[in-house]
Amino acid sequence: MARFSIKRYLPRSLYGRAALILLVPVVTIQLVFSVSFIQRLYEDVTRQMTENISVELRVLQGLVESADDVAAASAALTPMAQALEMQVVFPGDVVEERRRVWDLSGRVIRETLAERFDGLAAVDLVSRDKTVHATLETTKGPLEISFPRRRVSASNPHQLLVLMLFTTILMTIIAYLFLRNQLKPIRRLARAAEAFGKGRNERYYPGGAVEVRSAGNAFLNMRARIERQIEQRTLMLSGVSHDLRTPLTRLKLGLSMQPENTEMQDMIGDVDEMERLIDSFLEFARAEAQEELEKVDPTTLVEELVHNARRAGKSVELTGAPPAGQLVKLRPMSVSRATENLINNSVRYGKRAEVSLELLEKSLRITVEDDGPGIPEAQRDQAMKAFSRLDASRNQNAGSGVGLGLAIAADVARSHGGTLRLGDSEGLGGLKAELVLPR
């Protein structure tokens, strides 16, 4: 049985939740006050006023009952009704029972009069504007009485409700403006953090309340530390790789001047392998460099990479791509390097590779599939770490890498705020690598 969770129905944004926290107590208080006010005004006050006028109606009824005949009763009623500011007709007609459905105080008037007079025939609250028209049964005939509605219910009760509603709207608008001003620094901080997660440095200055300023300063310090670490890592790899080139060049030159034999060829091959390692380190260092974002046509970029791979004799095919001309903001050199690494990995461990490009509403997806042995699901996270080599599960005859190809692609994806996903290729049966970058 599914459990009910109120979280599904709550706003997801901080602004929405803050507005909810503000409005729920205000609306609740207004509802409680309105109910209490309506009950007090429309029931208690109306009942009390109706009971007061019932005393005057009983006086008129008593005059009719004590009179000798109809003429005497009519003569006695006229001056008394004028003194009580009422209109009477005797003998009169039985009025039609009429009341509007939404007339709450009218219901209380009818019930109170019925409690006080057993001979109440009917009450009409509709036919005459702002007038109560009632008929009392007497032993000498119906007594038809009319008096102003204001004598039994409060006049203009809606004015307080309108004033309360207007004040509520006004205070809600003021609170909304104040709340927006308080949440603006938090939203700026969120935008700066989101931009930094996508590899962009957005200008940000802490502002707002003390707690928000503290969080903003902590974010700036964290961003500065991360940038220093990336810079130091890049400089270290670049420096080490550059410094190793000089002795390797001297060593290669010295070996080339020695007599050629099998042992010498093996040593030269070792030096070449070391040079390839250094090139990989430099490539990894360049992947960490902060390249500026540019508007690029991804279709043209991927088509060029596939074309270059085929010129190099690799079996690579572009199976799908959107029409050229649609621009996406990204780092072209980094994305090219990452995609090229995925293609090289595919043709290294498989015989052929297929590349496809999808331009979705919020993301760009570059997919590279091969027909190689793939990577077991349990080892995929490990495969994307730097210097990680899983050759035991791959093709040993295809040559070994340095363990930086997938790591570089993953770093490029993260620098754009995206991700690198590894899976199984349904079409070719090997590895499926998806480079997903946000638009």
Distance in Å from the first CA to the final CA of the chain: 40
Strand 316-320 versus strand 353-359 pairing type: parallel
Q: What is the pLDDT of residue 1?
A: 45
Backbone angles phi, psi at 168, to 5 degrees: -65, -45
Residue type, 19: A
Average pLDDT on 398-414 reads 70
What secondary structure letter does DSSP report for 41?
Answer: I
What distance in Å separates the CA atoms of residue 419 and residue 256, rounded to the nearest whole number? 45
pLDDT over 70 percentage in the chain: 86
Q: What is the pLDDT of residue 250?
A: 78
Q: What is the pLDDT of residue 198?
A: 67
Alpha-carbon Rg for the chain, nearest whole angstrom, is: 44
Cβ–Cβ under 8 Å, residues 186 and 208: yes
Name the residue with higher pLDDT: 124 or 201: 124
pLDDT tens sequence across 135-154: 888 888 888 888 888 888 87
Among candidates 155, 134, 137, which has minimal Cα distance to 145?
134
In this predicted structure, the answer to whether residue 34 has a pLDDT above a threshold of 70 is yes
What distance in Å separates the CA atoms of residue 82 and residue 76, rounded to the nearest whole number? 11
pLDDT band for 69, please (50, 70, 90 cuts).
Answer: confident
In this predicted structure, the answer to whether residue 155 has a pLDDT above a threshold of 50 is yes
Q: Where are the beta strands (DSSP E) in 141-243?
A: 141-148
Cite the DSSP H helix spans in 67-124: 70-83, 104-116
- Helix H or strand E encompassing 367: strand 363-370
Mean pLDDT of the chain, nearest integer:
80
Name the residue with higher pLDDT: 3 or 296: 296
Q: With both helix axes pointing from N to C terminus, report the angle between 262-288 and 210-256 in degrees, rounded to the nearest 10.
A: 160
Average pLDDT on 368-377 reads 86
For tokens 């969080």, the residue is 215
- What residues pair up with 92 in beta bridges, in sequence order? none
Backbone angles phi, psi at 365, to 5 degrees: -125, 120
Q: Which domains does the chain have, with CATH numbers?
A: 8-155 (3.30.450), 193-290 (1.10.287.130), 291-438 (3.30.565.10)
Average pLDDT on 371-386 reads 81
pLDDT band for 20, please (50, 70, 90 cuts).
Answer: confident
For tokens 């009179």, the residue is 67
pLDDT tens sequence across 228-262: 877 777 777 667 766 777 777 777 777 777 777 77
Name the residue with higher pLDDT: 104 or 374: 374
Q: Which residues contact 411 (CB under 8 A, 6 or more apart)?
A: 284, 287, 288
Cβ–Cβ under 8 Å, residues 303 and 321: yes
- Helix H or strand E encompassing 287: helix 262-288
Average pLDDT on 52-73 reads 86
What distance in Å separates the CA atoms of residue 56 and residue 34, rounded to the nearest whole number? 32
pLDDT band for 401, please (50, 70, 90 cuts).
Answer: low
Taking the mean position of all CA atoms in its chain, how far away is CA 141? 73
Cβ–Cβ under 8 Å, residues 335 and 351: no
Name the residue with higher pLDDT: 120 or 105: 120
pLDDT tens sequence across 162-195: 777 788 788 878 887 887 788 888 888 888 887 7
